Amino acid sequence: MAVNGFKLVRIIFTIKSTRIIIKGLVAISFIILGISIPVKGQSASRNVIDQLGRQVTLPYAPQRIIALAPSITEIIFALGQEHRLKGVTRFSDFPPEAAKLPKVGSYVHLDLERIVALKPDLCIANKDGNPREVVTLLESYNIPVYAVDPINSSGIINTVLEIGRLLNSEEKAKILTQNMYSRIQRVKSLVKKVDHRPRVFFQIGISPIVSVGTGTFIHELIVLAGGRNLAAGTVQYPRFSREQVLGLSPEVFIVTSMAKTDAFERMKSEWNLWTNIPAVKNQRIHRLDSAIFNRPTPRLVNGLEQLARVIHPELFEGE
């Protein structure tokens, strides 16, 4: 049956109106969710706020990522998103597969030319170490840089969640951080039972003797593990003379160093000469893997558990 002109116009108007309403509703939904509407001819992008409070425009699904610190490389691998990594810094050696990826210099001395040549659609930087001027130059090349700033265990958990959101791997990030949180809570629960917090000297440098002060990840781990950090209240990485260490009379002596095992054994033999130190008297000089303590990654929880076992072995008897 033929449709008269008036009805046809009304039908066309209704269809166009419906399309306009639908587009309007979609646009409102994007605004509510804080999503940028992609411009025709451009890849879909979104605006996010990084951990330094900077607004960053980045792809919804970045495919060419450069991690500007070993810790970031490790987190991306932990999230199962290593297929997106196109470049890492020189000392990115965990997991072992990370060492095979193209290098862009060290996280302090980044190779800008190399980074640009790899054509990243996202760089993830760490405030502690990455030079601000390099970040600015990368952004001048229209390469988005998202910066993280984990300063404690809670900050590390938040960083894992944030990177998970950037890479559309929220579920994996939640599982990973829930595991971290429950293990931290278990150590806290065990430590509540102790009446005495042993004096701990944590040595990260053999020559000169360097320890860890307040404001470091390791200081927080010592406290969480039920110890008393003898370098607390100082600068982040204070130096000590041998006489100063002897005067502190540590009950637990922990060494984590990049030095080889034979160097540690020589150092241990030297400390063992001072039999008046409680740590020597009770054979409580321990060597722990520095790689677990040096980076703000999920592996720091492994470090916390190791410290708790070293500082309070009585809490883990029978395990």
Residue at which a domain ends, from 118, 146, 180: 180
**Band of the pLDDT at 258, cuts 50, 70, 90?**
low
pLDDT attached to residue 207: 79
Across the range 190-204, mean pLDDT stands at 94
Tokens of 48: 């996010």
Per-residue pLDDT tens digits for 123-138? 999 998 888 999 999 9
**Kindly report the CA angle at 220 between 214 and 224, in degrees rounded to 5?**
140
Among 152, 180, 208, where does a domain finish? 180
Domain check: are 272 and 230 in the same one?
yes
- What is the total residue count of the chain? 319
Q: Are residues 246 and 309 in the same domain?
A: yes
Residue 106 in this model has a pLDDT that exceeds 80:
yes
How high is the pLDDT of residue 67? Answer: 98
Q: Which amino acid is at 121?
A: D
Asked whether residue 156 falls in the same domain as residue 99, the answer is yes
Instruction: Establish if 226 belongs to a structural domain.
Output: yes
What pLDDT, on the 0 to 100 scale, is given for residue 267?
Answer: 79
Query: Does residue 55 carry a pLDDT above 70?
Result: yes
Average pLDDT, stretch 23-42?
A: 38
pLDDT at 291: 83
CATH of the domain at 156: 3.40.50.1980
Does 12 map to a domain?
no
Distance of alpha carbon 22 from the chain centroid: 42
Within a domain: 233: yes
107 in any annotated domain: yes
Which residues, 6+ apart, have CB-to-CB distance to 46 below 8 Å? 34, 35, 36, 57, 58, 59, 60
Kindly state whether residues 127 and 199 are assigned to the same domain: no
Q: What is the pLDDT of residue 225?
A: 97
Residues 50 and 165 both lie in one domain: yes
CA 284 to centroid of chain Cα atoms: 30
Residues 145 and 262 in one domain: no
130 and 159 belong to one structural domain: yes
pLDDT > 70: what percent of the chain? 85
Q: Are both 159 and 223 inside the same structural domain? A: no
Q: Is the pLDDT of residue 49 over 60?
A: yes
Distances (CA, A) of 159 to 111, 165, 314: 24, 10, 33
| DSSP string for 119-142 | --SEEEEETTTS-HHHHHHHHHTT
State the pLDDT confidence band at 145, using cuts at 50, 70 and 90: very high
Q: What mean pLDDT is predicted for residues 104-115?
A: 93
State which residues form the domain around 54: 45-180
Confirm whether 23 is domain-assigned: no
216 is a domain residue: yes
230 shares a domain with 125: no
pLDDT single digits (tens) 218-253: 999 999 999 999 999 889 999 999 999 999 999 999
Same domain assignment for residues 169 and 240: no
End position of a domain, from candidates 148, 180, 212: 180
The answer as to whether 54 is a domain residue is yes
Domain-located, residue 60: yes
Q: Are 229 and 200 in contact (CB under 8 A)?
A: yes
How confident is the model at residue 12, as a pLDDT?
35
Percentage, residues of the chain above pLDDT 90: 69
Name which of 74, 115, 114 is nearest 93 in CA terms: 74
Same domain, 134 and 102: yes
For residues 301-306, give the mean pLDDT: 96
Q: Per-residue pLDDT averaged across 292-312, rounded?
A: 94
Q: Using 50, 70 and 90 to split pLDDT, how confident is the model at 24?
A: very low
Q: Is the pLDDT of residue 26 over 70?
A: no
pLDDT at 259: 54
| Measured distance CA(309)–CA(311) in Å, rounded | 6
- In the chain, the number of structural domains is 2
- Please tell me whether residues 104 and 201 are part of one structural domain: no
